[in-house]
Structure 1
Amino acid sequence: MKGSEFSELKAFICVAEERSFRRAAKLLRMSPSALSHTIRTLEERLGVRLLNRTTRSVATTEAGQMLLDRLVPAVKEISSAVRDAGASQAEPRGRVRINLPRIAARLLITPLLPLLRDKYPRLSLDVTIDDTVTDIVGEGFDVGIRSGELVQQDMIAVRLTPDLRMAVVGSPDYFSRCPKPLHLEDLRQHQCLTYRWDHTGVLQRWEFRGPEGAIFVNVDSTITANETDFLLDAARKGTGLTYISEQLAKPYIERGELIQVLNEWSAVFSGFHLYYVNNPYMPASLRAFIDLLKSDIAKTYTYW
């Protein structure tokens, strides 16, 4: 249906309900002559008379009343749909689909959930934990969170955190039985708990930073797992050393449950970035989530 045809139908409804061209013209902000021309055009296009006109009154014909009875509910539904679309921009509601790695979910999204619930109760999150680099557009996600060095160049990227630092940690119990490593080579004499990438099965390399650049150490992986929380728990129980994000280990270090070693060699990686496709008509739900995440992260920068 053309836009002009829809306008003709709305004009017909207004005249039929008002039973007056003059009153209908005033509501439609048209001249009575222009409105009369619009109705004649509609009748000619349909090949049927819709309104009986006299100098004193306007009434629907039988065909006009049949059309009116079917048009009014349909137009109301269309108007309601348009209002709802506008309201969705004014009031954040609906679902936001996020793709991000485990550590980002734990450090960035989990603390945000109570604030999100209280401020935007009609907004829901669909979170996919994914340690691989996923095409968020191709997979239907609204946003992704990744280390800055992994974000695609054609995306809008917003830095959420400072750079990320790794940490070698072990429990006091473990170090009561095994001496603390003083040099990177000492790690080869220790029992190590290593992260394994879920999709590829490849073990995470223990990468460090020296004066001349990256240094990789081949450690003896006593336990491998694709879950950072499992590795942290195993390290806290004295099973061995693990090499993990310092931000994840920090609460346990502060409580004395873990001890960090070889600090001066720990590698540093680009911080987490939120990224998404440039969209001039961004849904209010997505804009609200992005703004809330940025404001919440800004308050917690001191933690990092």
Structure 2
Amino acid sequence: MIKESMDDLGAFLVVATQRSFTRAAAQLGISQPALSAKITALEARLGVRLLTRSTRSVSTTEAGERLFNAIGPHFDGIASGLNELSELRDKPAGSIRITSVEHASQTILLPALATLLSDYPDITVEIIDDYSLADIVADRFDAGVRLGEQVAQDMIAVRIGPDFKQCVVGSPAYFKRWGKPQTPHDLTEHRCIALRLPTSGGVWSWPFEKEGRELKVRPAGQLAFNTITLQLGSCLAGIGLGYLPEDVVKEHITAGRLQRVLTEWSAPMSGYHLYYPSRRQHTAAFSLVVSALSLGGRQQRTR
């Protein structure tokens, strides 16, 4: 009975934090019906309703909020205690959750972690790609990855990638039909493929810079995505213009599948940083992940 209650309370905390049965079930690695059954059983034992469910969201009742505030810190302490025990093992072990963005995950996180995870089989890493600026403390992430200027000042930030540039690209077929823009202002007359930001619900305005002059263009077109992979695919298909990192399109430009325009206007981006709270006590597994991802450490390993 005690074990069941602990499992169900842990499930409740995840649902209350995620405000979604779908996201909570994915995080716990169980089905939504199984998770719902856990919460229903817990509510039945306690004799109170803990969550209010609607078709779009989940929120805590007054009783649920009280329970969340009462047991949340204790569960964090239990997790911390278990992590401390893992330090006594022959090899570091533990689970690390990171919120990132698709570009950083593909070009930095996966290559850097491949060797680490092979050497330390008891370390598990979960990477959630999300362009919203997640609250890593409230959402129970161990760390986040964002561009340098997006990292809050109260966080520890470790550079994991160099500065890079964005570039406007399109297929030869697109330019043959629609012509090439000569200035960023001309993009308002083109079919641009937008990146939608979940935080604001709007689309990302493309930043440009030339000789100290900065401007932003809001892309307009028939397509908007929340991943750069789909943007790239649409550019290759000749549907429109994309504004993508240089390293993502370099191979396609060399092969002639894409052409670059407005090169002199390409905006520099500040490079990706891994960030995490300064007050949190970190495990050996977390320290290994930070070391594997840090730009300085990766540069030394590749020499």
User: Same fold by TM-score, threshold 0.5 exceeded?
Assistant: yes
Residue aligned with 2:222, SS: strand
Residue aligned with 1:291, SS: helix
Gaps in structure 2 of 5+ consecutive residues = 1-81
In the superposition, relative to structure 1, how do residues 255 and 299 fare at CA in structure 2: closer, same or farther (>3 Å)? Answer: farther
Alignment of 1:78-157 (within 5 A): 84-88=85-89, 91-157=91-157
Gaps in structure 1 of 5+ consecutive residues = 1-80
After the TM superposition, which of the residue ranges 172-181 and 265-274 deviates more from structure 2? 172-181
Identity %: 33
Residue aligned with 1:197, SS: coil
What is the CA–CA distance in structure 2 between the aligned matches of 1:276 and 1:259, rounded to whole Å?
39
Report the equivalent of 2:267.
Answer: 267
What is the CA–CA distance in structure 1 between the aligned matches of 2:249 and 2:300, rounded to whole Å?
20
What is the CA–CA distance in structure 1 between the aligned matches of 2:249 and 2:301, rounded to whole Å?
17
Tell me the amino acid that sits aligned with residue 193 of structure 2: L
Report the equivalent of 1:21.
Answer: none
Alpha-carbon displacement from aligned partner over 1:181-237 (angstroms, at most 9, x marks no partner): 222232222211111113432011122113353212244322111121111000001
After the TM superposition, which of the residue ranges 141-150 and 201-210 deviates more from structure 2? 201-210
The TM-score, its normalising length taken from structure 2, stands at 0.66
Alpha-carbon displacement from aligned partner over 1:109-144 (angstroms, at most 9, x marks no partner): 222343133211111011111111122122211111
Report if aligned partners of 2:204, 2:218 keep a CA contact under 8 Å in 1: no
Alignment of 1:52-91 (within 5 A): 84-88=85-89, 91=91
Tell me the amino acid that sits aligned with residue 160 of structure 2: L
In the superposition, relative to structure 1, how do residues 85 and 117 fare at CA in structure 2: closer, same or farther (>3 Å)? Answer: closer
Report if aligned partners of 1:108, 1:297 keep a CA contact under 8 Å in 2: no
Report the equivalent of 1:258.
Answer: 258
Tell me the amino acid that sits aligned with residue 227 of structure 1: T
Report the equivalent of 1:49.
Answer: none
**1:91 shift after superposition:** 1.7
In the superposition, relative to structure 1, how do residues 189 and 299 fare at CA in structure 2: closer, same or farther (>3 Å)? Answer: farther
Alpha-carbon displacement from aligned partner over 1:41-97 (angstroms, at most 9, x marks no partner): xxxxxxxxxxxxxxxxxxxxxxxxxxxxxxxxxxxxxxxx89944424x62211011
Q: CA RMSD in A?
A: 2.6
Report if aligned partners of 1:165, 1:269 keep a CA contact under 8 Å in 2: yes
Alignment of 1:1-304 (within 5 A): 84-88=85-89, 91-278=91-278, 281-294=281-294, 297-298=298-299
How many pairs are equivalent? 221
Report if aligned partners of 2:170, 2:238 keep a CA contact under 8 Å in 1: yes
